[in-house]
Chain A
Amino acid sequence: MSTYITKRILYMIIILFAASFLIFCLYALTPGDFITGNIKLTPERKAELREIYGLNKPVVERYAIWMKNAFHGDFGYSLSQQKPVLTLFNQYIWNSFLLAIVSTFLTWLIAVVVGVIAAYKQYSWFDTIVMVALFAAMSIPSFFIGLFLIKIMAVDWKWLPPGGMLTTGSTATGFAYVKEVVHHMMLPVMVMTLLGVGSLTRYFRSNMIDVIKQDYIRTARAKGLKERKVLFTHALRNALLPAITLVGFELPALFGGSLIIEKIFNWPGIGQLYMQSFGLRDYPLLMGFTLFIAILTVIGTLVSDILYHVADPRVRL
C-alpha cells in the first residue's frame, strides 16, 4: 500500500510540475498584461513597473522565481487588487465553498433517491420521464439557464434576488444575515445542482440496474427477505460503492464550474474573482487559480483511488 501511494504521489508531483510550467507559459505567452492595458500609465512608469515585477526577464527565469516563491507559500501578488494572491483566495474561496458544498449535497441526495427508484422501475413511465429530464439537465448551457432563471424568477416574478450574496448596502447581522445569504444562494445552488444531477443520477441508475441483475440479489430474495431489505441492504450498498470514487473527481469540477455560475450570479467567490481578473489580465491571480484547480484535480484522483480501496472489501488491504 505505502509503496503504491508513494509512487502515485511522486507521479502526481511530476505531473503538477509539468502542468504548472504549461500554465505559466500559457499566461506568459499572452501578449499584453495588466501594465500594458492600463492607459493611465506613462511609458516610463510602465517600464519601471515591469522592472519591479520582473516582467522583463525570460520566461524560464520568471517561472523559476514563481515556483520558488510558491514553495514558500507565496503565489504572487495581485496587481489589480494590490494584495497577495493567497490573501485574496482566502477572502473569496469560502463563498465558493459554500455554494459547492450545498449543491453537492443536494445533487447526491437527488441522484441517489431518483436513481434507485428509476432503476427499480426500469422501463416504467416514471423511469422514462426521469431519463428525459436528466438528459435535459445535461444539455442546457449553464450560463443560459442561469440567465433564464434570473429573468423569470428574479426580474419578472421578483421571487429571488438576481445576484450577489447580500442585498446592496445590507448591514444585516446574525440570523438576518444568514437568511439573506440563503435567499441569495437559492438560484445559483439550483443551477449548480441541476447541472450536476443529470450525469450522477444516470450513473446511479445504471449501477443499480446492473446490481439488481446480480445473482446475490436473487439469493437475497430466495432467502425470503423483505423487498425493502433486498433493495437497501443488498443492492444499494453495491451500487453506491463505485460512486465513492466520484467524490474525488467532484472537487475540481465544482470549483471549475464556479467560473460561469459565479459570474452570472455575481457571487463574490473565487470564480468571479477569476473572471474579473481575466478582463484585467492580472496574471498572478489567474495562474494561481488555474494551478489551484490543477492541484485539486490531482489530489482528487489520488483520493478517489484510495477511497475505492478503502471502501470495497474485495480490494481492501
Chain B
Amino acid sequence: MDTVLDIEHLSTHFNTEEGVVRAVDDVSLRVRQGEIVCIVGESGSGKSITAMSVMGLVEAPAGQVVGGSIAFRGEDLLKLGRNELRTVRGNEIAMIFQEPMTSLNPVLRIGEQLMEPLMEHRKMSKKAARKRAIELIGEVGISRAEQIADSYPHELSGGMLQRIMIAIAISCDPKLLIADEPTTALDVTIQAQILDMLRRFKEESGMSILLITHDLGVVAEMADYVVVMYAGKVVEEGEVVALFENPQHPYTQGLLKSKPIINQRQDELYSIPGQVPNPLELVPSCYFHDRCAHCMDICRTTEPALKETANRQKVACWLYEEANPHV
C-alpha cells in the first residue's frame, strides 16, 4: 500500500499567558492508501491539533508548528506556500468537524457552501457546480436535494448538517479525509448512519481516512490502524485487532478496561486514578507515570521512546524496554 500521509516528528506549540504548551510533541504517524487510521485520546492529548497541523489551520500567532514534517504523497506540506497549501486543502485533503451545527455559515445557503470548493478547485461554472452540488446532496442520503440546496443551515438537523459537511468534504474526491470527532455531537442512531456512510465512501473511492475520536467503540468499528495519544505524545500504536486484544501500554489497558460495555456487566469499573497532567508542568518523564500502577524510578525521569514490540505494534513504555534493568 502507498503511504498517503507521513507525519514525522511533528511538534506544535501554543504560547499562552502562563507559558508554552507543547500540544503536539514529536508525533509521527503514517496513513496508507485506503486505510482508516484512528487517533484516540482524551481531551488535551493533542489529537485534534495534529489534524489541524496537517490542514495548516493551527491558530496563529498563538499556535505554531515548530518542527517535523508532514509529507502528503511525498510532498512536505509544511514547506508549501500559503497559496499552494490552499490548493491542497479541501481538494486533496478534506476535513469534517465535531460540531455540524456551527461548522456551516449560518447566512449562506447550503447549496452555495457546497458549490464553493467545486468552483475553487475544479474551476466549475456556477451552473455546473450547482448541478454537482445537488447530486452530492443526494449521494449523502438526503432526499429533496434541490430544496435542501436552497435552505439555510438552521433549517436542518445536526445529522443532516454533518451529511452536508461530508458532501462538501468529498466534493473534490480527496485522497485523504480527516474527520475530527465527526459523530461526537450526534445521537447514537445518527452516529451509526454517519459511520456507515464514511465507510461506504471509503470503499467506493479508495480514499484514506484519518479519524480522530475519544470513543473506543467508534475506533473498534472503523479503524484499520490505531494511534493512542496522551499529553501530546503517541504512547502506543498498532493494528486495531492486535491493539484491542493485546494492549501494551498501561494507559491503553486502563482506557479499554474503564469503558463500560453493553452486555458485559462488571460490578465495578476499572478506573485510571488521577487526571491528565497540566501541560505547563511537564518535565522529561513518561507523562503517564503518576497515574500508572507500574511506575518505576526511570519513568519519573526519562522519556520512553516508541519501540516496535510486535508486528506493526509500537509502544512507548519502559516496561517493554529490553535495556531496562528493572524488567
Q: Which residues of A contact B (CB under 8 A)?
A: 214-216, 218-227, 229, 233-234, 237-238, 241, 312-314
Contact = CB atoms under 8 A, between A and B. Distances in A.
A241 B108 CA distance: 12
B57 A222 contact: yes
B152 A238 contact: no
Given A216-B103, A216-B105, A238-B107, A223 B154 contact: no
A312 B168 CA distance: 24
Interface residues of B, number: 28
Given A215-B97, A215-B99, A314-B152, A224 B106 contact: no
Given A216-B102, A237-B107, A237-B108, 8 more contacts: A218-B103, A220-B105, A222-B55, A222-B90, A223-B94, A226-B86, A229-B120, A237-B105
B57 A223 contact: no
Given A222-B94, A223-B89, A234 B105 contact: yes
A222 B178 CA distance: 10
A313 B106 contact: yes
A225 B168 CA distance: 12
Given A218-B97, A313-B154, A223 B107 contact: no
Contact of A224 (B88, B97, B99): B88
Interface string B91-105: 100110101001111
Given A237-B107, A312-B107, A223 B102 contact: no
A314 B107 CA distance: 8
Nearest to B83: A226
A210 B121 CA distance: 28
Contact of A215 (B87, B88, B102): B102
Nearest to B85: A224
B95 A222 contact: yes
12 contacts: A214-B102, A218-B57, A218-B97, A220-B105, A223-B89, A223-B116, A223-B120, A224-B117, A237-B105, A238-B105, A241-B107, A313-B154
A313 to B, nearest CB: 4
A315 to B, nearest CB: 9
B107 A313 contact: yes
A312 B90 CA distance: 28
Given A224-B91, A225-B120, A314 B97 contact: no
A312 B106 CA distance: 9
A237 to B, nearest CB: 5
A224 B95 contact: no
Contacts of A238: 105-107
Contacts of A214: 102
A223 B117 contact: yes
Nearest to A313: B152
B139 to A, nearest CB: 18
A37 B225 CA distance: 95
Nearest to B107: A237
A225 B105 CA distance: 14
B103 A219 contact: yes
Contacts of A226: 86, 120
Contacts of B102: 214-216
A225 B116 contact: yes
Contacts of B116: 220, 223, 225, 229
Contacts of B121: 224
A167 B165 CA distance: 64
Nearest to A316: B152
A224 B86 contact: yes
Contacts of B95: 222
B154 A314 contact: yes
A224 B120 contact: yes
A238 B106 CA distance: 8
